[in-house]
């Protein structure tokens, strides 16, 4: 399969006519709005309806063979390759960055006919203390460094410390900041406090793009998920993100549906575009395609690009590489042949 045929199969599968190689950003950053309760206060989300909508995705979209390979190449470009462990070392981060620069083995790149196409992941995501290491390792690659901040994952440190952590990460070279909201504001319905908190974090980010992590598994209801998404975007979040990856329940398709509907409604209300990032528990190529289909059907082709869609994942790339090897050879290799380090 050549890159040209990959473009054609993606275009046919998504009925867009767009090319796989078109990854240039097409939108301005979200500047936010004033606090406007009318945009969210009367919303109530029906769980059964959300689950029924998700059930239609698999029935309506089946991606096979060359089409599947093309979709998986796009999935790679949307991965925030992540390490957020207590035993992170400079060497571990450098190995992750090397993988981000060259996410597929050279023999698979040749067999897929990718030629001179520069395939990388969407970003590398690390703790603030590892940002400088990642920036140096990725120099010249075009791969941005993202950093978690604001007392990740709980977000229960004093506000001044949370803002200082953002500024430290930006000062070290992070181009993207993944902040965590205070879940208590959502659970108590204190939307004014949530808006003010996220707004202050956005200001601390400066020119860095900000992704607001909602920790949806802890928000109790889908209505809370919708409202938290909307308030975060009103406060200036460039992305809304499902989870830290450390909650008991992380990214799910019904929750993601609610969040992307909020993104769509925010666009309708304000004319401003926001991105979406599911994170936590997404480990297989099949799951990756399900999320890409969700984005295509709910938001359109622009949200199949890394400036508006990311996967937060540490192990997803290994399974995608394994699936692409199967596409080339017709055989599944052992999963341990596709490790990160």
Q: Rounded distance, CA 114 to CA 310, Å?
A: 22
- Per-residue pLDDT, 26: 53
Assign 321 to helix, strand or coil: helix
Report DSSP state, residue 104.
S
Strand 209-213 with 79-82, pairing = unpaired
- Per-residue pLDDT, 65: 65
- Per-residue pLDDT, 340: 55
Cβ–Cβ < 8 Å for 230, 40: yes
Q: Which CATH architecture has domain 28-61+123-312?
A: Alpha-Beta Barrel (3.20)
- Per-residue pLDDT, 329: 87
Phi, psi of 331 (to 5 degrees): -130, 145
Q: Which two tokens stand for residue 122?
A: 């969407």
Q: Is the peptide bond before 224 cis (omega within 30 degrees of 0)?
A: no
Catalytically active residues are 178, 241, 277
- Per-residue pLDDT, 92: 97
Assign 239 to helix, strand or coil: strand
Closest CA to 111 of 321, 284, 285: 321
| pLDDT < 70: residue spans in the chain | 1-26, 58-65, 332-341
Assign 319 to helix, strand or coil: helix
Q: Rounded distance, CA 137 to CA 148, Å?
A: 18
Give 36-52 pLDDT, tens digit per residue. 999 998 999 999 999 99
Give 174-226 pLDDT, tens digit per residue. 999 999 999 999 999 999 999 999 999 999 999 999 999 999 999 999 999 99
């Amino acid at each position: 399969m050549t890159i040209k045929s990959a473009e054609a199969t993606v275009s046919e599968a998504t009925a867009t006519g767009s090319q796989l190689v078109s990854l240039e950003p097409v939108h301005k950053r979200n500047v936010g709005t004033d606090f406007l309760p009318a945009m969210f206060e009367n919303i109530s989300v029906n769980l059964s309806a959300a689950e029924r909508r998700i059930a239609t995705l698999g029935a309506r979209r089946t991606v096979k063979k060359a089409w599947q390979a093309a979709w998986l190449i796009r999935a790679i470009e949307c991965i925030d390759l992540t390490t957020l462990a207590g035993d992170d070392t400079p060497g571990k981060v450098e190995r992750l960055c090397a993988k981000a620069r060259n996410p597929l083995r050279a023999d698979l790149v040749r067999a897929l006919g990718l030629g001179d196409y520069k395939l990388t992941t969407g970003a590398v995501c690390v703790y603030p203390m590892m940002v400088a290491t990642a920036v140096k390792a990725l120099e010249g690659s075009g791969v941005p460094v993202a950093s978690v901040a604001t007392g990740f994952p709980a977000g229960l440190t004093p506000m001044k410390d949370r803002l200082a952590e953002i500024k430290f990460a930006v000062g070290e070279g992070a181009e993207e900041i993944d902040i965590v909201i205070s879940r208590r504001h959502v659970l108590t319905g204190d939307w004014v406090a949530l808006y003010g908190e996220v707004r202050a974090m956005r200001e601390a980010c400066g020119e860095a793009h900000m992704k607001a992590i909602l920790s949806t598994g802890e928000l109790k209801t889908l209505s809370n998920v919708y409202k938290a998404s909307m308030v975060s975007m009103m406060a200036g979040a460039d992305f809304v993100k499902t989870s830290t990856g450390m909650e008991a329940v992380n990214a799910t398709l019904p929750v993601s549906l609610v969040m992307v509907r909020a993104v769509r409604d925010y666009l309708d209300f304000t004319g401003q575009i926001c991105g979406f990032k599911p994170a936590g528990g997404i480990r297989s190529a099949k799951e990756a395609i399900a999320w890409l289909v969700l984005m295509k059907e709910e938001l359109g082709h622009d949200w199949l690009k890394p400036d508006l869609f990311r996967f937060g994942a540490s192990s997803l790339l290994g399974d995608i590489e394994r699936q692409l090897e199967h596409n080339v050879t017709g055989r599944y290799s052992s999963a341990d042949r596709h490790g990160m380090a």
